[in-house]
Amino acid sequence: MSGAYDPLMPWTLAWLAPYIGATVIALGWLLKVRSEKFYGYTSVLSILVSSLISTYAAYKVFSQAKPIYAGGDVVWVPWFNITLGTYFDGLSALMSLTVSWISLMIAIYSVKYMEGDWGYGRYFFFFSFFVGSMMLLVLADNLVLMFIGWEGTGLCSYALIGHWYTDEEDKWVGKPGRYVLGTQMFFEPSHSGVRAILFTRVGDLGFILGIAILYITTGSFNIIELASRAPEWMQTLASKGILAPLLLIFILGALAKSAQFPFHEWLVTAMTGPTPISALIHAATMVKAGIYLFLRITPILFTGALALKASPEVFSLVVSQLEHFFIIIALAGALTAFMLATMALVSDELKLILAYSTASQIGYMFLAAASAGLLVYTGAIETLVEGLVAGFSHLVSHAVFKASLFLIAGWLIHLAHSRFINDMGGYSTIKLTALALWLSGLSLSGIPPLSGFFTKEAVIHTAISANTLLGLAAIVTAGLTAAYTVRVIVRVLHLPPYSGHGKHKVEEAPISMLAPYLLLALASLAIGLLWPSMANIYSRMGLLTLSVGELVHLEAIVISGTTVLAVLVVLASIALIFLLYFTLKVNFPALLGRGGLYSALHNFLYDRWYINPLVYLSFVNGGAKLARSVEGVDINIDLLYHSATPSTGSLSAWSLRVLHRGRTDYYLALYLLSALVLLFLVLALMR
């Protein structure tokens, strides 16, 4: 690495400001400041600073067409040359922009939403810390600093998912009392928090292991250096046959963080936190960390392999191992997208449906980037940029409409006094909220001209270029997505509640809550309408992203047979929902009560393909049994101390006392005997 670095400030404030905000909140909390406004406004202000710095940085990166590298010369750990570097390139600049502004919207919404909550100060402390950690992992110039941010998001997610740790039933997720294969299928906030941190921790172990191996191989934690030396270490690892396994281990953390199969279980029960936290985790932070890491390393691997083209044998060796790696990720992405979409079809909890949807959509993002990786053998940098942009643009698009959907959900749950959609209905009278829900929902469904349409088409296009079956899986999932989304919208806006749930007053949310989700929904429309300009920005992002450095002009959209097919599938799904709910007026609860195939299939999907019971039966219960058996051994050892030791002591004491009979002749005999034994020993040694 060479060249002058940018100054530490103000760029470091992009991630430091929310941390400072959290520290101020903590101090206020310790000093027992009572004003709620102090906590809320401090958090909002600190995130605003972060947003403004990120915006300025993105402007500078894109206008000057060169990355900002601040603090690369400020060494924190001299031995490892770990710096306090903040790195804005095309990818991280747009990512930090997305994270900070969406977090700001959610923070503003939270000020009102959390009003009167008994954990108000604690909420905003962890909120700010969460945003700071996410910004740190996005902007860190080295893997250790990134890991610190990574773990920070994990800790905060634990605290925020379990925010209502007193575990009142209305804060649970899942149907109370439901058990499958003897395993509990409903979760309290405190339990969900533990699940979140433990599930993601499993992946984190792989991440740490990968970091350590990379360091030992290259002698560096610096991401920029690792990128520039990628051909070297990729060749070394490939020659040992461990490139693909190492990358899989390394990316385990990303898969877990982004709730991809088989780590998705934590996300679906993370809905026990306050709704703005669900929005934060799903839209801007935490789950996006994993896919961000994957998007960060994909260009490094792709161009690292291309640099080895001069040596066909080495290139072929590296590419074959990369293909193994990328196909596994692509399959995990496609499977997660499909599997979670089927779960969303039958779920009856509003936030849970959105949670399934998040994991499913992130599956799309992994699929896009991995599909680009699968095309590394072509040697065409265009395929890399297309995949990178498809994955990242869907990330941004999803962040916007999903934040809006969660914030709307928060208000609808408040109105219905229930988290179940069957208790909701007839909310079309609140026009602005209904508009926001339709816009965001249709964007999620992939309806033109909303942003979701363009980004999902890009994903499908990339996937089908890499592998037809992967592309078809993406199209089928698009149909399922449209179905579950429109089902929810129709259910809560245009139909009366199924249940006899009490009628509550229906009104628009206060302006400070309405504005964030309405703006986000409109942003989803605006991004779609301005898509040609957005495509241009994303092209430039490719140019300015680490390891890419090449301008590839992307078409705003390529209308192909695949595009038509995907849109037809989506429209057919929507039409089917309308048919079922409005024309045939199917009474699903009654249908469910009759049993049969529909009921069996419903239960299979409702119980999440039985994956949760399987995880508990194999790992959790198995671990507990092992621990109990070890404890049993320990108790027996303890008993041994209690019985055998005193017995031995008594026996020894008795034996020794037997020798002490108080007779002089006896002592003399013993003395002579001992001397004789000693004499024999000495003689033996002397020989």
Residue 499 or 645 having the CB closest to other proteins: 645
Alpha-carbon distance of 521 to 598, in angstroms, equals 35
Per the document, the length of the chain is 687
Q: Looking only at residues 597 through 636 of this chain, which bind other proteins when binding is defined by CB under 8 A?
A: 623-624, 626-628, 630-631, 634
Q: Are 278 and 204 in contact (CB under 8 A)?
A: no
Piece of 175-183, 193-201, 231-239, 449-457 that binds other proteins (CB under 8 A): 193-201
Tokens of 130: 């969460």
- Which are the contacts of 578, defined by CB distance < 8 A and separation ≥ 6? 486, 490
- The distance of closest approach from Cβ of residue 194 to other proteins in the complex, given in angstroms and rounded to an integer, is 5
Among 4, 31, 216, 686, binds other proteins (CB under 8 A): 216
- Using CB under 8 A as the binding rule, whether residue 248 contacts other proteins is answered as no
DSSP symbol at 192: H
**CB closer to other proteins out of 90 and 162:** 162
- Rounded distance between C-alpha atoms, residue 157 and residue 72, angstroms: 29
DSSP 225-286: HHHHTHHHHHHHHHHTT-HHHHHHHHHHHHHHHTT-TTSTHHHHTGGGS-HHHHHIIIIIST
Verify binding: residue 77, other proteins, rule CB under 8 A.
yes
Tokens found for residue 381:
């940098």
* Nearest one of 232, 247, 353 to 304, comparing CA atoms: 232
Query: How many angstroms separate the CA atoms of 278 and 350, rounded?
Result: 12
Site for other proteins in 486-525 (CB under 8 A): none
Tokens of 547: 């390891």
- Residue written as tokens 């490139």? 243
**Does residue 202 interact with other proteins by CB under 8 A?**
yes
Contact 26, 43 (CB under 8 A): no
Is residue 550 within 8 Å of 90, Cβ to Cβ? Answer: no
Among 44, 70, 102, 197, binds other proteins (CB under 8 A): 197
Q: Does 201 bind other proteins (CB under 8 A)?
A: yes
Q: If binding is defined by CB under 8 A, does position 16 make contact with other proteins?
A: no
Residues 638-677 that bind other proteins (CB under 8 A): 638, 641, 645
Q: Which two tokens stand for residue 304?
A: 């690292």
Tokens encoding 198? 């433990």
Q: Judged by CB, which is closer to other proteins: 560, or 650?
A: 650
Q: How far is the CB of 197 from other proteins (least distance, A)?
A: 6
**# binding residues, other proteins (CB under 8 A):** 45
Residue 187: strand pairing partners: 173
- Looking at 150-158, 173-181, 290-298, 679-687, which segment touches other proteins (CB under 8 A)? 150-158
**Segment contacting other proteins (CB under 8 A): 4-12, 192-200, 302-310, 650-658?**
192-200
Per CB under 8 A, does 213 bind other proteins? yes
User: Which of 6, 141, 151, 607 is in the footprint of other proteins by CB under 8 A?
Assistant: 151
SS3 387: helix
Q: Which residues pair with 140 in a beta bridge?
A: 86
Closest CB 234 distance from other proteins, rounded Å = 18
Q: Which residues make Cβ contacts (< 8 Å) with residue 23, sequence separation at least 6?
A: none
CA distance 42 to 394: 31
Looking at the Cβ atoms of 133 and 545, the one nearer to other proteins is 133
Task: Determine if the peptide bond prior to 496 is cis (ω within 30°).
Answer: no
Assess 533 for contact with other proteins (CB under 8 A): no
Considering the complex, state which of residue 630 and residue 668 has its C-beta at the smaller distance from other proteins.
Answer: 630
* DSSP summary character for residue 66: S
Query: Which tokens in the block code for residue 605?
Result: 């999907």
Closer CB to other proteins, 35 or 652, in the complex? 652
Candidates 205, 511, 564, 676: give the one binding other proteins (CB under 8 A): 205
Q: Segment contacting other proteins (CB under 8 A): 56-64, 143-151, 177-185, 450-458?
A: 143-151
Which member of 38, 215, 604, 609 binds other proteins (CB under 8 A)? Answer: 215
Tokens of 680: 């024999």
Q: How far is the CB of 638 from other proteins (least distance, A)?
A: 6
Shortest distance, position 254 Cβ to other proteins, whole Å: 16
Nearer to other proteins, 209 or 580 (CB): 209
Member of 3, 31, 79, 182 binding other proteins (CB under 8 A): 79
Contacts of 264 (CB under 8 A, 6+ apart): 336, 339, 340, 359, 611
Rounded CA gap, 336 and 340, in Å?
Answer: 6
Among positions 54, 190, 383, 397, the unique one binding other proteins when judged by CB under 8 A: 190
**Does the footprint of other proteins cover residue 253 (CB under 8 A)?**
no
342-361 residues near other proteins, rule: CB under 8 A: none
**Distance between CA atoms of 43 and 140, rounded to whole angstroms?**
22
Among 1, 209, 592, 605, binds other proteins (CB under 8 A): 209
CA distance 421 to 344: 12
Q: Which stretch binds other proteins (CB under 8 A): 147-155, 227-235, 567-575, 657-665?
A: 147-155
Q: Closest CB to other proteins among 52 and 144?
A: 144
**Choices 209-217, 340-348, 375-383, 443-451 (CB under 8 A): range interacting with other proteins:** 209-217
Q: List, in order, residues 6 or more apart from 487 with CB less than 8 Å away.
A: 345, 577, 581
Closer CB to other proteins, residue 18 or residue 162? 162
Query: Residues 162, 290, 425, 441: which binds other proteins (CB under 8 A)?
Result: 162
- DSSP secondary structure letters along 27-60: HHHHTT---HHHHHHHHHHHHHHHHHHHHHHHHH
User: Can you give the binding site for other proteins, defined by CB under 8 A?
Assistant: 30, 76-79, 82, 144, 147-148, 151-152, 155, 158, 162, 165-167, 190-191, 193-194, 197-198, 201-202, 204-205, 208-209, 212-213, 215-216, 623-624, 626-628, 630-631, 634, 637-638, 641, 645
